[in-house]
Amino acid sequence: MSDVVREAAQAGQMVLWEESPRDGAQGKTVMSADFRVWLAREQGRIFGDDGARHVVFAAGFPSVCAEEFDATRRVAHEAAGAVSPAAVCRGTLEDVRLACSAVRGAPHARVMIVVPGSDAMADAMTHVPAREALSRVAQLVKAARDCAPEVVPDICFADAPRADVGLLAEVSETLTAEGAGVMVVADTVGDLLPEQAERLFVELRGAVSEEVVLASHLHNDLGLGLANTLAAVRSGVRVAACSWLGVAERSGMVATEQLLFLLAHRKTDLIGEGELWSAPPDLTLLPPIARAVSAETGVPLSVTTPIVGSGVGTISTGTPFVRPKTFQPYDPQSLLGITPTVVLTHLASARVVRAVAERLGVALDRDEITAALRWVKSEVYRRNSAVISDEDFGQFLDGMRAVAR
C-alpha cells in the first residue's frame, strides 16, 4: 500500500497530525474508544474522500494499558479509510511491536516512534549521547517493517531545537532510506520563538534531500504554538501536528481548529499560491467537532476561544449591529456555518433591544424600548453578570406590558 501521507506532503499538500487523543492525555484529559472512533471519522469527513491523505490520527499510546491498546486498535479498524491511523510508542523493540500489532491490518496505518533528538533528552531517556541513541533507531524501523510490512514507521525527534541539525539530517536520511515515512521535529519543551522555529526548519530542510519528509510538533508554553507552526509551514513543512482545542502536555499545542481555519481561509496570505488540499476542507464541521471535544474532555470553550468559541458571530453593541461586516475579520455564516446572534448586555443600543424583542415575537414602541433598555443596563449591574438571557428578558417584557394594561 502506498504512503498517502508522504505523497501528499511531497506534492505540497498539507497533512494534519491530530494529537488530541494521544498528547491530549498529557493535558489531563481522556477520550473513550467510542469517541476516538467518532472523532477520527468526523475529522476525516472534513476532507471528504481524502481524509486519509490529509489527517494522521494519533489514536493512542498502546503500551499505557490494555484499554489504551483497545482504543487505538478500534480507531485503526473502525475508522478505516477515514484517516491514516497511528499508534505512538517509545523507542524500544517491545513498544514498537506492540504499537504495530495495535494498527496491523488497517488501511494507511502508521506507528510513531519517539526517540531523543538532543544530548540532554538522550541522557534523560536512554542515558547515552544522542548519536549513540539515534544509531539504534534503524533497527526499530526494521523491526516495525518485519512485524507489519504494511504499517509505516515514523520517527519523532524529541527536543529537536537543542539537537545538532547535522546529526538530525544525517539520521533522517538514513531512516528514510530504511523505509521510515515522516520525521517529526518536536519542540518538546515549548520554548521556541517564531523566528527560531522558522530558522530550525529552514536549516533542516536545507540539510536533507527531497526524499525526507519533515513534520512539526510544536507546543504552546509561551502562547506561540500557532505562530511557530505557521513559521514551519512557511519554511516548506507540509505535515503539522495539532490538537483539538490545543489540548496537550502542559500548556498544550497548536489548536487544530485554528490551524486548519487559517491555512484554508488565509492560505495565500500565509504561503502564497499553490493548493494545500485535494479539495477545499469543510470548515463548517469545525464548531460542532470542537463542541463535542469540549464535552468529552471537559476543556471549556470560552467567549474568546478563536474560531469555535461562543463569542464568534455574536453582536451586542449598536454600530456592529448596523454594520457587522465592518467589525469582523471573516463571515462566520458562510465559512463556519455559525448564524450571527444578537446578545443582550449592558452595552446594548435601542436597535439591539428592538432586535432581541422581535426575536421573542414582541414589537416594542419607542417608550417601551426606552424602558427596556434602562432595565437591561440596570439589571446587568445589579446581577454583576453581563448577559441577559432571552428567558429573563421575555419575563421582563411580559411584566412590563402587564403593568401597562
pLDDT tens, residue by residue, 315-353: 888 777 778 788 888 999 999 999 888 999 999 999 999
Which helix or strand (DSSP H or E) is residue 267 part of?
helix 267-271
pLDDT digits (tens, 9 = 90+) for 367-404: 999 999 999 999 999 999 999 999 999 999 998 888 87
pLDDT for 221 equals: 95
pLDDT for 305 equals: 93
pLDDT for 322 equals: 76
Which three three-digit cell numbers place residue 390? 432571552
Q: Would you give the distance in Å from CA 72 to the centre of its chain?
A: 19
Parallel/antiparallel/unpaired status of strands 84-90 and 341-342: unpaired
Strand partners of residue 255: 243
> What's the rounded Cα separation, in Å, for the pair 313 and 308?
10
Q: What is the CA radius of gyration of the chain?
A: 25
pLDDT for 315 equals: 83
> What's the rounded Cα separation, in Å, for the pair 94 and 91?
9
In terms of pTM, does the model score above 0.95?
no
Q: Give the other-Cβ count within 10 Å of 211's Cβ.
A: 11
Residue 235 amino acid letter? S
pLDDT for 320 equals: 75
pLDDT for 328 equals: 84
Residues above pLDDT 70, as percent of the chain: 100
| pLDDT of 1 strictly over 70 | no
